[in-house]
Amino acid sequence: MAITNNGMRFSIPAKQIPAGFTPQSVTPFNDQEYNTVNKVYSVLKSTVEDADPATTMTNIESALLTLIDEDISADFIATQTVTHYSDFIKFTNNHVALTSTDDWLTNTAVSYLCTVVTYVKSMA
């Protein structure tokens, strides 16, 4: 299976994006054949945390892209070529309410809960 990940758009509130974080570029498309409906991924804090909130968010982004690729691999036939991109639409955690400060990226939550919509087009 050939998977092309066109990146992830960040549609979460700007106050949840730490200073210094630059998301990867995304190449969206309008001719998708399939999309997920608000899928929630749990990202363990211990696997992404860093003293720098921007680095933590970069690690969360990387973890999400890996999890999404794994889902795509499981959902489609191995002989297909699949192209997808995602939209990160909600960001919370399983511990405390998020505030407008960056502190919660470095000292709370056991897991970050990330709601994502993934758009897929495949070619046989």
* Token pair for 9: 């758009």
Q: Kindly list the domain boundaries of the chain, sorted by start residue.
A: 2-123
85 to 36, 37, 54, 97: CA distances (angstroms): 11, 13, 22, 28
Tens digit of each residue's pLDDT (9 = 90 or more) over 65-74: 999 999 988 8
Contact 28, 6 (CB under 8 A): yes
- For the entire predicted model, the pTM comes to 0.85
Task: For residue 105, give the nearest of 28, 34, 52, 30 by alpha carbon.
Answer: 52
* Token pair for 82: 């699949």
Along the chain (124 residues), what's the average pLDDT of each consecutive run of 10 residues? 89 92 90 90 91 94 94 82 93 69 61 93 75
Give me the pLDDT at residue 1, please: 66
Contact 117, 39 (CB under 8 A): yes
Give me the pLDDT at residue 18, please: 92
